[in-house]
């Protein structure tokens, strides 16, 4: 006897959900390229914030977006995200992880980082606010 249609649909949906949920963590990690296992306990992480001057939101965004590819291509960078506040365009938050402070300082000495900082007096309100953080926990724990 065949299952009624609603029961088959529900079972198919449940089967698909189980398959997707078991694959999501591995797929998510591979898809975005984050190397969680490369982030050592105590890694040096940064949460930074910059706000555009009124009317300079687009210019600051255009000056900042190239950093994503440049920083992520640095082998010493472990994680890098640039985010913009949906409710306050021109308000950017950076999240970065380096194995140690020396790697972060080397990053800040890169010409493209120095060039970006040189543009901030014209584009940003008050420069960059930085929180220097310690990454806790270890991958898989």
Please write the tens of the pLDDT for every residue from 82-131. 999 999 999 999 999 999 999 999 999 999 999 999 999 999 999 999 99
- Per residue in 16-56, pLDDT (tens digit) is 444 444 444 444 344 456 667 778 888 999 999 999 999 99
Rounded Cα distance, 93 and 125, in Å: 14
Backbone angles phi, psi at 45, to 5 degrees: -120, 155
Average pLDDT over residues 63-76: 94
Which residues lie closer than 8 Å to 11 by C-beta, 6 or more apart?
A: 3
The answer to whether the beta carbons of residues 31 and 94 sit under 8 Å apart is: no
Question: For the whole model, what pTM was predicted?
Answer: 0.71
């Amino acid at each position: 006897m065949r299952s009624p249609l609603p029961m088959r649909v529900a079972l198919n949906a449940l089967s698909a959900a189980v398959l997707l949920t078991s694959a999501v963590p591995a797929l998510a990690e591979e898809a975005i390229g984050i190397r969680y296992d490369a982030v050592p306990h105590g890694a040096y992480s940064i949460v930074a914030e910059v706000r555009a001057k009124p009317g300079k939101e687009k210019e600051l965004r255009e000056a900042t977006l190239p950093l994503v590819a440049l920083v992520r291509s640095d082998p010493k960078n472990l994680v890098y995200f640039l985010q913009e506040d949906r409710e306050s365009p021109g308000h950017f938050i950076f999240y970065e992880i380096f194995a140690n402070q020396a790697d972060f300082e080397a990053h800040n000495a890169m010409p493209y980082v120095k060039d970006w900082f040189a543009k901030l007096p014209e584009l940003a309100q008050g420069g960059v606010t930085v929180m220097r953080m310690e990454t806790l926990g270890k991958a898989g724990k």
